[in-house]
Amino acid sequence: MDEKPRLRLAPARERAVPINDRLAPLYPRFEGLDHDGPLQLLVAVVLSAQCTDARVNTITPGLFARFNTARAFAECDIKELEQLIKPSGYYKSKAKNIRACCAQLVARFGGEVPSGLDDLVSLPGVGRKTANVIRGHAFATPGITVDTHVGRLSRRLGLTRHNDPVKVELALAEIVPEPEWLHFSGRLIMHGRKVCLARKPRCADCAVADLCPKVGVPPTSRTSTGPKVVKSKTAKGARPDAPSSH
C-alpha cells in the first residue's frame, strides 16, 4: 500500500514561533548544569562534553570546593585535577583545557570570565557553542546553542537543512525571535531528550507533530493524532537558567 502523502506545511519561518510557543509550557524549567557564577559554568560546560549533565553535577560540588577561583585552577596539580574530574570521561584533555583556560583568564582578564564572544572562543577548550551557553546563562546575552539535540531537531522539524552547527545557529537566529533564542535552544534539548529521540522519536506523544515534516523519520514512527499535552518532569529545585552543552 502506498504511503499517504504528507500535508503541506508552512515555511520554517512561519512554524518556528508556534513550535516554540507549544514547547514553552512543557519545559518551563531547564534541567542542566548546576553552577554558581560564570567560572563554575565555564568549567562545568567543558566537563559536559561527551558526558551527561547529571554526571557532571555529581562531580562539580567537590571540584568547586577544592578550586574556587581561576588562579586556583590555573595553579593546580594536573594529576589532582584529573582525578577529580575522571568520571566525566576524557579527563586528561579536559583537565589540560581547564587549567590552560584558567591560566588565560588570569593572564588576560584578571581572573574573570569575559562576556564577549570573540574573547570566549579565544580560550582553550571553548568553542562557539560553549561561548553561547556562557553568554546566555551567565551574562543574559541572547544566543542559540547548537548541541546534537538542537541540530537533530532543527533538521527533523524542517527548520534548516544544515549539518554545520554554526550554520544551524545562524539559520535559527533568522526565524526565532531574539529574546527566545536561549529558551528555544533549551526547549529543543529537553524535547530531544524526552520525546523526539534520535532513533525512535515518539511522534504520537509530540506536541508539535502536526507542525513537523518529520525529516528522516521512518513512516512507522510518524503516526500522530495531533498536538499532545505532555507534562514536563522537572527535577525539584532545577533552575530555568541551567544550561546544557552536549
Catalytic residue among 34, 53, 94, 147: 147
Is the pLDDT confidence value at 38 over 90? Answer: yes
Reply yes or no on whether 118 is catalytic.
no
Is the pLDDT confidence value at 240 over 80? Answer: no
Distance of CA 52 to the CA centre of its chain: 11
Residue carrying the nine cell digits 534520535: 198
> For residue 7, what pLDDT is reported?
55
- E strand or H helix at 74: helix 70-74
pLDDT in tens, 213-239: 999 998 876 665 455 544 444 444 444
The three cell numbers locating residue 177: 525571535
Cβ-based neighbours of 11, under 8 Å, separated by 6 or more: none
Reply yes or no on whether 147 is catalytic.
yes
Distances (CA, A) of 85 to 55, 60, 90, 97, 172: 10, 8, 9, 12, 34
Catalytic residue among 53, 129, 164, 167: 129
pLDDT tier for residue 167 given thresholds of 50, 70 and 90:
very high
Task: Return the DSSP state at 90.
Answer: S
pLDDT in tens, 84-97: 999 999 999 999 99
The three cell numbers locating residue 133: 551557553
pLDDT in tens, 61-112: 999 999 999 999 999 999 999 999 999 999 999 999 999 999 999 999 999 9
> For residue 224, what pLDDT is reported?
52
pLDDT in tens, 6-15: 557 899 999 9
What the chain holds in terms of domains, given with CATH numbers, is 12-30+143-221 (1.10.1670.10), 38-139 (1.10.340.30)
